[in-house]
Amino acid sequence: MTIQAINPATDELIQSYDSMMVDEVNGIIEKANEAFLKWRRTSFKERGVLMKNAGRILTENKEKYARLMAMEMGKPIKEGRAEVTKCAGVCDYYANNAEFLIKPEHVMTEASKSYVAFQPIGLILAVMPWNFPFWQVFRFAAPALMAGNTGILKHASNVPGCALAIENVFIEAGFPEDTFRTLMIGSGMVEGVIENKLVKGVTLTGSTLAGKSVAKKAGELLKKSVLELGGSDAYIVLEDADLEEAVNICVFSRLINSGQSCIAAKRFIVVENVLSEFTELFVKKMKEAKMGDPLLEETGVGPQARRDLRDDLHRQVKESIEKGAKCLLGGYIPEGKGAFYPPTVLADVKKGMRAYDEELFGPVGAIIGVKNEEEAIKVANDTVFGLGGAIFTKDVNRGERLAAEEIESGSCFVNTFVRSDPRLPFGGIKESGYGRELSHYGIKEFLNIKTVYVK
């Protein structure tokens, strides 16, 4: 099998890679497990020095990595730079804080001493997606390695260059050989890797379908898994919102990564007395976004990562229109090379349409009108997903109450867009997955939380 990197802006082949055979994969797993047996004995100080080296290497090579992402999956280069900077930040965060985050927790009991200890469990498999090819990996790798685990990466097949570049970051940073390795394999070999007795856990970021497959196999083998899956984030705009600010934030969030983000704004739920004005401003702002070559500074929307993904998105748009949605902007496949899809706005979106019921993984905004706050909450929660969401209102107390108590999601932001932050847990509920990444919750996912009791 050959793994190919194809430029989604030009349809040109960048490079081909030979897929690893089973014996080679098993050999890497054995070496990574041997590395774990030594790595787990190192001090937080030793690990921290190397992790900070990784952050420095990322920063020094920001332009190279941003260009690589633009070439392999079409990310606008200015967004690629920001992604690399964020990766360096998560390396520094866990280098500085891992020891504190997982220090023993002493508990008063009848014992002379009793406490909770946190110990690494071993080799962890990361199955990662193409949309944030550096960030998704580093937000797993930084806490996992700082906790004393080792990692192997099965990256998306359309970003093999990114996968190898990430492995090289850890090598250049001075991490012991085989502490973090890339497996150049297709998705068909993932189950076999999970089945390997030396692999102790698996984390996946990707589609709900892929998550269910990995969860099933991990469950059969009683191996820990963490899943961050799809999302159809609802952005609720209430009658007292600052509409201009809300529209700017909504459009920014909808077009992040050319619309290809699990936590991008996707459903815009707007109360009826501001619906007309919001829609007019939203269409105008979406129209201003410049689509084009991701290597150009002025590009705001690059190509979709692959043609098949672009074509699937277009079918969702077409079938929603056929059921009564109104296309106010975009909604067509441009002529010429590349997997481009223009910023698109659908209005009058209702239940039963694909734009209402499914995740739109591209630059398509679905506007849903509602009567009031009560209906807005009902519609926001009327989804199989539960990753993130946002509420816009000038009454901050009202927004906080709704965010904390009413929205069914792993996170909800008030008057700003959903994002991940190393200091806060990240993840979803329902078909958006389970478990958490980042913060102290994330670093503990692949640790043995052990009770120690001394009489």
Check whether 1 has a pLDDT greater than 90.
Answer: no
- Catalytically annotated residue among 72, 79, 83, 228: 228
Q: From the candidates 250, 262, 431, 445, which is the catalytic residue? A: 262
Tokens linked to 70: 């633009």
Mean pLDDT within 96-108: 98
Closest CA to 402 of 373, 426, 430, 375: 373
**Each residue's pLDDT tens digit, 73-101:** 999 999 999 999 999 999 999 999 999 99
Parts of the chain belonging to CATH 3.40.605.10: 2-229+429-454
H helices within 116-266, ranges in order? 135-146, 160-173, 190-195, 208-220, 243-255
Could you give the residue range(s) of every CATH 3.40.309.10 domain in the chain? 233-414
Q: Rounded to an integer, what distance in angstroms lies between the CA atom of residue 59 and that of residue 61?
A: 5
Mean pLDDT (the chain) is 98
| Chain centroid, CA 235 distance in Å | 18
CATH topology of domain 2-229+429-454: Aldehyde Dehydrogenase; Chain A, domain 1 (3.40.605)
pTM: 0.97
For residue 280, indicate whether it is catalytic.
no
* CATH architecture group of domain 233-414: 3-Layer(aba) Sandwich (3.40)
Encode pLDDT of 7-61 as tens digits.
Answer: 999 999 999 999 999 999 999 999 999 999 999 999 999 999 999 999 999 999 9
Please indicate whether residue 228 is annotated as part of the active site. yes
